[in-house]
Structure 1
Amino acid sequence: MKKKIGVGIIGYGTVGSGVYHILTTKSRKLSTLSGADIDVVLVAERDRDRMKGKVPEQISTADAYEVINHPDIDVVVEVIGGIEPAYTFIKQALQNKKHVVTANKALMASRGGALLELAQEQGVDLYFEASVGGGIPIIRPLKHSLAGNAIHRVMGIVNGTTNYILTKMAEEGSSLDEALKEAQALGFAEADPSADVEGHDAAAKIAILASIAFNSRVTADKVYTEGIMGITPEDIAYAKEMGYIIKLLAVAKEDDEGMEVRVHPTMIPAKHPLASVAGVMNAIFVEGDAVGEVMFYGPGAGSLPAASAIVGDVFEVALNISLNKVGSMTCGCFEHKKVKAVDDIESRYYMRLDALDKPGVLAKIAKVLGDNNVSIETAIQKNTRDGHAELVFGTYLVKEKSMRRALKKIEQLDVVAEVGNILRVEG
């Protein structure tokens, strides 16, 4: 006889409704492949009106603890987001020896280690594929398919909102504010878009990916983070002229000195695979010593893409239960590696300045850069007007602390009116 596996869903918003839809419409396929009858026992949503006419009343509730404590529920799906009360709900479910599937990136990037340890202690599974990349399979491939690799680098576009904004700026010449308002009107950006445009959403995701790739726990507060609010149409245009595209990149690298984990606007070559990722799409580029370079691409958000990843986890748990191999998703963070301070990270840079248009200015700026071990690769003068000119520089590889030291000196030069923008260059 097939085992019966009861599923409870906490949250019936955009993603929760997608999970319910897939589980109820694909039940025959899921049950046949997993060897278990997967049944939605209960759906909890604080606003029960959301479920009217969509979820049978007898399996709907406003109380999450009815799901957590229900004797017929084996797998709890948490899709409410945020740290609390999600952390309390998941912790209690694990203590009740229920398996948990979550899409909660903020929680897994801050307290995921403790929850994974609790799951192991309780002999249950905690899966979180949908926490990064929406519908893109990335966590399980990193843990399993690429287990034979030493991963050197994970780099990706993991926030659809900012990618949409930067795409509109590049393709249509929109200002950042115009592109943001359009993203909000289309539902791609929240009314308060700060988590996206300030880079915090991407920071949580790269913390999770770095932890898995390098087998060492990285929390979101260790990720150096910059948002996109300083990007101007001029930066987009100059990047294009130099053969680059600007993207908000999440970057994780490892070398003998430790890990670097960061999120910031980045110039990447127009021919790089990530440069063609447009709109709300996501892509994650992975480099391993055995596999070489691979890229995972697809929709990074939305009801059904995210639900697809969650249901994949539910299926995996059901398969584990059928095969008596629960507890297989271990933390994997068995090493304790240093996260480098941003000052010790090396990068190439793009720099835009407003300076006086007169002889000797370029030489003064070049001297400051040279005195601080910053070598210039390119220098372009643009838009001369009213006795001023825009100067655009590209540097060779340099340590962050050297670049910051040079910038302080440049800002003090009487020939420099303003440091317009500084961007890192990858690829």
Structure 2
Amino acid sequence: MELIILLSLGLSCLILVSLWNRSYVKGKLPPGPTPLPIVGNILQLKDKIFFKSLREFSKVYGSVFTLYLGMKPTVVLYGFEAVKEALIDHGEEFSGRATFPLIDKVAKGLGIISSNGETWKQTRRFSLMVLRDMGMGKRTIEDRIQEEALYLVEALKKTNGSPCDPTFFLSCVPCNVISSIIFKNRFDYSDPEFQTLIDDFHKILTIVSTPWIQEKHNQQSEFTMDNLAITVWDLFIAGTETITSTLLFSLLILMKHPEVSVKVKEEIDHVIGRNRRPCMQDRRRMPYTDAVLHELQRYIDLVPTGFCRTVTKDTQLGDYLIPKGTNILTCLTSVLHNDKEFPNPEKFDPGHFLDASGNFKKSEYFLPFSAGKRICIGEGLSLMELFLILTNILQNFTLKPLVDPKDIDTSPVEATLAKVPHFYKLSFISV
């Protein structure tokens, strides 16, 4: 038995050394902690301190370093300068998508999220064109969001101020918006198929967020029925779950900081009033609300690393030559929580996006949607939805927590891909 164990360890070491040497022969990878056989550096990246571990490694090895997640090297980009140089200055080279077994089993390299090469380029270009033609970024889609926000307000009023789980209500709006773009139709909130669809989205996000994890006969075309189906699915799950989770976290944070909610409601009363529904033009005259929306997304840090990428060819990054196919992990947390750009980054403070005169202040460090060629195609739609949904809610309701605000827990369920809030209830008190 001992001989078998020794032989297994010896073989593992040989495999690791072989892979390690191959990487260094082909390119000069950045430095990093010494990996163990088979598991690499995984044991040094414990779930609950994953990002703390990355921060500690960056202090030792710099803003670009190598980790072995198993036997394959992954280059980590830590900090704004490293992320900007890679994703923006070398956008094409860093536009590859790494394999993700659970998702790849379903997507099979199709759609927007998981595809690569010509499939990804054509699908992304086509999706953007269709979304724009159907109203994304235009007044027509704003009208659609406003209409759906009214359905939300009416549904929340029917709770009569009783404690409720807001998850389903908040999921309905973005899901119906995406549905209206793609299918030109919305679902009634009581529709059983609609409820099942939303429940499936939640389950999928929870699973993939765990730490371990038309021209049919033209063979040259990327526009197959399979690709279309996966693309629609990508749009639905990305366009629904990210907004829903952001809204759920936002309500928690606003209840924990009631003084912020009060100031937003005051700005709503001053600019919009009680009898007119909010519109996107109002945002320019609401600097505090705009700052709150940005700070919510910064503080929540919903997708800390985004989906893992790969380099599409041998690429020079600083002093290092990263071989084609090397996995790339972009630590967006290190940008959104940069303590020089955002003093006391662990504290929720809308002042991070306000100047001394109280005007809204932009920041190039605001990258919740990532950057470069793989930036989220729904960024504009998401920002529009967040503004219109939250202003409609705060215009019509006071958020009442079931516990003392100081006892509200805004931390996420432990995850590495996307953060998910803990279950909670609140009361929507009509004003």
Shorter-chain TM-score above 0.5: no
Greater strand share, structure number: 1
Greater helix share, structure number: 2
**What TM-score bracket applies, with the shorter chain setting the length?**
under 0.3
Q: Which has the higher contact order (CA 8 A, sep 6+)?
A: 2
TM-score where L is the length of structure 2? 0.27
